[in-house]
């Protein structure tokens, strides 16, 4: 069982730390290749940021250079740390002298009384070549190896005499002599180290042109026997760094880019992110932050859903997954805190965890899509008016308006365009999860989007807080709606009259004789939008038992077929109208009241302001809908609801 924590550190694996991604076979192959290879040789570990290059180098450094079976000396250099200097020439000088210093440190540690003359020569030549480096920097570096040598360097290198003219080849030859003599003495003394491995990290984090300069310099100076370079760099970085030389990469000059890369690198190794065991990795991380339970971790359907969401968004990059898990950990703690303050249970269902996870994936990979949801989270109620306000072109032939809006929005940028299918797939899967719980996605999404908004990396303009006077809105709505409904009355509807006080809702009654003869409208502000709810509380049949689950009562009474027909009628009614959508699934509207089974079936219109509700087009649609809804209720009264 994982140790519980609230956050995941984004640090590489250290030494022999457990490999949770399970790529040991790749590591073993590289390990054996390095131990047996001829030298000099350069190996490029390629992969995007966070793909695990540093972790792999750490583990190889431990296995080959640090443990009791070490066959090489290991020198580690992080180029990004040096790149924090302002002057590019200083960076190159500092890096070369840092590597030279490490080689000298190894020779001094192994054979303290040897190589003094060679060490002095190396610094004399290096100083002559890199005249820009300061006296203090050189003496400080050398003194860390040998204080006597530091004094000699000061006397020789910084004398008033004119330096002799040296080349990189002279420096390379002296280093070659030093390394060869070191390895020869190791052989004579039966020591296992036969080479030096230079682990050069984070070349892909510095300016590409500088990274290319470093590669060229390392090739010219350290391309000597017994030296192995392991470089964390991607081919794309080399391409960017060579633009000034070859121009933009195209079919005509691609060979030149490749030839340069091949000259520097003898073995390209692509990080095997497609082979990472992401299922186990994600389960372990989510358990460690207490987002999923041990039981959920063993549920293949549940975990496969999470992995599918991950693959469609952030992919298999370990760094991106860690960030994702940290967000989920925080949201989980936020839900707990809210529940505690409101004296509610904290438990989150597995289905809701999947929706939170999917939405967090969208937020991490596609922040612009998340911002669109933040602006209007009622995705299943999106309409052409919303598309117009967001300047989104929509193909009117799309069967689902929200899907057309997503496609239109994604078409604005190449990255989103390439991923529009993945985005739509995730939203559709969230709909299925919601419907499995007899809910509409727009019942769940607004609150979840609000929870996640505090962890959003990219914030859209925040709309001013919407406030309305519900009574005034209802009054103004009734003034326009009532005459519009009267003009559209049709058989079997006889009349319409408003009943009761207009405080919390408007109630329209259409018949004195039959039951289920009225429809109510109410308005509220949620998630910075106005919700106009239109619906009825419908009595289905009387019952004597009230201690059962309401759906089970429907099943026991043999009314599932009749109920499913009613549900289908409501879905057909929804499809008829562009602006009006089901506010709840038919099954979730079932309840027990006054020794009878009732169905509260509501529809809703979501508007950004009250003026939208008063517009002639909206009044026309709502009035037609109310009439159709009432006719459907009359039809429902004729269905066989008599119980056994």
Q: Which domains does the chain have, with CATH numbers?
A: 24-270 (no CATH), 279-455 (no CATH), 472-637 (3.30.1460)
Model confidence at 485, pLDDT cuts 50, 70, 90, reads: very high
Residue 243: its pLDDT value, please? Answer: 77
Mean pLDDT, rounded, of the chain:
83
Residue 8: its pLDDT value, please? Answer: 53
Are 393 and 364 in contact by the 8 Å Cβ rule? The answer is: no
Residue 156: its pLDDT value, please? Answer: 43
pLDDT at 131 > cutoff 70: no
Nearest-5° Cα angle at 49, 47 to 55: 75
**In the chain, % of residues over pLDDT 90:** 29
Residue 460: its pLDDT value, please? Answer: 55
Cβ-based burial of 549 (10 A; exposed 0-12, middle 13-18, buried ≥19): exposed
pLDDT at 590 > cutoff 70: yes
Sheet containing 41-46: order of strands: 72-78, 195-201, 227-232, 41-46, 267-270
pLDDT tens for 386-411 read 888 889 988 766 668 899 999 999 99
How many CB atoms are located within 10 Å of the residue 475 CB? 12
Measured distance CA(477)–CA(534) in Å, rounded: 13
Residue among 196, 232, 227 at smallest CA distance from 214 = 232
Residue among 566, 578, 569, 585 at smallest CA distance from 628 = 569
Are 520 and 506 in contact by the 8 Å Cβ rule? The answer is: yes
53-61 and 24-36 helices, crossing angle to 10°: 50
pLDDT tens for 372-381 read 998 888 888 8
When pLDDT is averaged across residues 509-532 and rounded to a whole number, the result is 88
How many CB atoms are located within 10 Å of the residue 205 CB? 16
When pLDDT is averaged across residues 536-556 and rounded to a whole number, the result is 86
pLDDT at 148 > cutoff 80: no
- This prediction has a pTM of 0.73
Model confidence at 145, pLDDT cuts 50, 70, 90, reads: very low
Looking at residue 2, the DSSP 8-state letter turns out to be P
Measured distance CA(290)–CA(443) in Å, rounded: 26
Looking at residue 455, the DSSP 8-state letter turns out to be G
Model confidence at 16, pLDDT cuts 50, 70, 90, reads: low
367-375 and 350-365 helices, crossing angle to 10°: 120
Residue 430: its pLDDT value, please? Answer: 94
Are 369 and 392 in contact by the 8 Å Cβ rule? The answer is: no
Are 521 and 533 in contact by the 8 Å Cβ rule? The answer is: yes
Q: What is the DSSP string of 232-246?
A: E--HHHHHHHTHHHH
pLDDT at 203 > cutoff 90: no
pLDDT at 613 > cutoff 80: yes
Residue 195: its pLDDT value, please? Answer: 92
Model confidence at 1, pLDDT cuts 50, 70, 90, reads: very low
Residue 160: its pLDDT value, please? Answer: 40
Are 138 and 131 in contact by the 8 Å Cβ rule? The answer is: no
Measured distance CA(122)–CA(145) in Å, rounded: 13
| Beta bridge pairs of residue 229 | 42, 198
Residue among 158, 95, 147, 99 at smallest CA distance from 124 = 158
Model confidence at 638, pLDDT cuts 50, 70, 90, reads: confident
Residue among 600, 599, 601 at smallest CA distance from 574 = 601
Q: How remote is the C-alpha of 580 from its chain's centroid? A: 33
Q: Between 626 and 638, name the one with better pLDDT.
A: 626
pLDDT at 154 > cutoff 60: no
Among 144-148, 425-429, 502-506, 621-625, the least confident range: 144-148
pLDDT tens for 44-71 read 888 877 778 888 888 889 889 988 888 9
Residue 220: its pLDDT value, please? Answer: 83
Residue 128: its pLDDT value, please? Answer: 77
Model confidence at 346, pLDDT cuts 50, 70, 90, reads: confident
Q: What value does the CA radius of gyration of the chain take, rounded to a whole number of Å?
A: 35
What phi and psi, each to the nearest 5 degrees, are found at residue 619?
A: -60, -40
pLDDT at 161 > cutoff 50: no
Residue 397: its pLDDT value, please? Answer: 65
Q: Which runs of consecutive H residues, i.e. helices, occur in 522-559? A: 550-556
Measured distance CA(241)–CA(219) in Å, rounded: 16
DSSP-based three-state secondary structure for 42: strand
pLDDT at 215 > cutoff 50: yes
């Amino acid at each position: 069982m994982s140790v519980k924590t609230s956050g995941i550190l984004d640090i590489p694996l250290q030494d022999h730390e457990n490999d949770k991604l399970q790529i040991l076979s790749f590591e073993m192959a590289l390990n054996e290749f390095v131990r047996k290879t001829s030298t000099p040789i350069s190996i490029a570990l390629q992969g995007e940021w966070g793909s695990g290059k540093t972790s792999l180098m750490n583990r190889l450094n431990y296995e080959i250079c640090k443990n009791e079976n070490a066959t090489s000396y290991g020198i580690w250099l992080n180029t990004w740390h040096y790149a924090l200097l302002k002057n590019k020439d200083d960076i190159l000088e500092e890096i070369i002298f840092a590597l030279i210093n490490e080689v000298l440190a190894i020779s001094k540690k192994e054979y303290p009384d040897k190589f003094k003359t060679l060490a002095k020569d190396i610094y004399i030549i290096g100083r002559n070549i890199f005249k820009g480096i300061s006296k203090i920097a050189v003496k400080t570096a050398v003194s860390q190896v040998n204080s006597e040598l530091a004094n000699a360097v000061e006397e020789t290198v910084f004398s008033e005499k004119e330096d002799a003219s040296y080349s990189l080849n002279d420096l390379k030859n002296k280093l070659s002599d030093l390394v060869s003599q070191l390895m020869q003495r190791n052989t004579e003394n039966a020591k296992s180290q036969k080479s030096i491995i230079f682990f050069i990290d984070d070349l892909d984090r510095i300016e590409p042109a500088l990274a290319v300069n470093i590669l060229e310099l390392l090739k010219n100076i350290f391309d000597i026997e017994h030296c192995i370079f392991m470089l964390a760099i991607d081919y794309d970085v080399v391409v960017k760094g060579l633009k000034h030389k070859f121009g933009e990469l195209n079919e005509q000059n691609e060979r030149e880019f490749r030839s340069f890369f091949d000259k520097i690198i003898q073995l390209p190794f692509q990080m095997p992110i497609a082979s990472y065991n992401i299922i186990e990795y994600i389960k372990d991380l989510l358990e460690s932050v207490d987002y999923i339970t041990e039981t959920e971790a063993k549920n293949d359907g549940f975990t496969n859903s999470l992995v599918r969401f991950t693959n469609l968004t952030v992919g298999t990059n370990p760094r991106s997954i860690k960030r994702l898990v940290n967000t989920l950990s925080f949201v989980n703690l936020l839900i707990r805190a809210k529940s505690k303050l409101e004296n509610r249970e904290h438990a989150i269902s597995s289905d809701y965890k999947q929706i939170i996870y999917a939405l967090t994936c969208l937020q991490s990979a596609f922040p612009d899509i998340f911002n669109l949801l933040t602006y209007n989270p009622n995705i299943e109620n999106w309409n052409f008016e919303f598309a117009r306000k967001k300047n989104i072109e929509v193909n009117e032939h799309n069967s689902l308006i929200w899907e057309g809006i997503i496609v239109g929005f994604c078409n604005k940028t190449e990255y989103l365009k390439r991923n529009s299918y993945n985005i739509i797939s995730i939203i559709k899967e969230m709909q299925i999860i919601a419907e499995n719980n007899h809910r509409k996605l727009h019942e769940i999404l607004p609150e979840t989007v609000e929870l996640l908004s505090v962890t959003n990396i990219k914030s859209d303009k925040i709309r001013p807080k919407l406030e309305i006077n519900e009574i005034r809105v209802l009054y103004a709505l009734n003034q326009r709606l009532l005459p519009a409904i009267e003009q559209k009355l049709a058989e079997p509807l006889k009349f319409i009259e408003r009943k009761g006080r207009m405080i919390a809702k408007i109630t329209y009654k259409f018949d004195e004789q039959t039951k289920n003869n009225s429809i109510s409208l109410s308005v509220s502000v949620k998630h910075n939008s106005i919700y106009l709810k239109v619906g009825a509380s419908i009595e289905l049949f009387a019952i004597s038992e009230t201690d059962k689950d309401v759906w089970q009562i429907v099943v026991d009474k043999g009314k599932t077929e009749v109920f499913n027909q009613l549900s289908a009628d409501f879905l057909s009614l929804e499809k008829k109208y562009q602006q009006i959508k089901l506010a709840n699934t038919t099954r979730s509207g079932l309840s027990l009241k006054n020794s009878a089974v009732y169905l509260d079936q509501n529809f809703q219109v979501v508007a950004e302001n009250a003026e939208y509700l008063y517009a002639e087009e909206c009044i026309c649609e709502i009035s037609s809908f109310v009439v159709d809804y009432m006719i459907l209720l009359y039809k429902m009264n004729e269905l066989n609801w008599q119980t056994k």
